[in-house]
Amino acid sequence: MLAKRSLVRVVRTPQGVKIDPSSKAQGRGAYVHDRRQCWEAAFKGPLARALRVEISAADRHELEMYVRTLRDESNE
């Protein structure tokens, strides 16, 4: 189990797939660890399956922009 503060909620909304910083947005959500490696693994399919949606190219681009702000522990 991980501390909730180390998890990032992603939510499926009528407007698309978005980061949910408050963790309170309406819609189907999934949690991803706040490390780049975890996001890279999630993008390979588990995130889309958890949200039960195909992630659009535009939404994926927005998520990838967010991921670039996260720490990369492979360099630490």
- Is residue 31 within 8 A of residue 25, CB to CB? The reply is no
Sorted by where each starts, the structural domains of the chain and their CATH numbers stand as 4-75 (3.30.1230.10)
Give the mean model confidence (pLDDT) for residues 5-29. Answer: 94
DSSP run (H or E) holding 54: none
DSSP run (H or E) holding 16: strand 16-19
Looking at the chain, the whole-number percentage of residues with pLDDT higher than 70 is 93
Tokens of 73: 């522990």
- Is residue 23 within 8 A of residue 41, CB to CB? The reply is no
The per-residue pLDDT of the chain, averaged, comes to: 91
pTM score of the predicted model: 0.85
Q: What is the DSSP letter of 50?
A: H
Instruction: Identify the pLDDT of residue 53.
Output: 97
Give the highest mean pLDDT range of 20-24, 34-38, 53-57.
53-57
Residue 4 has pLDDT above 90, yes or no: no
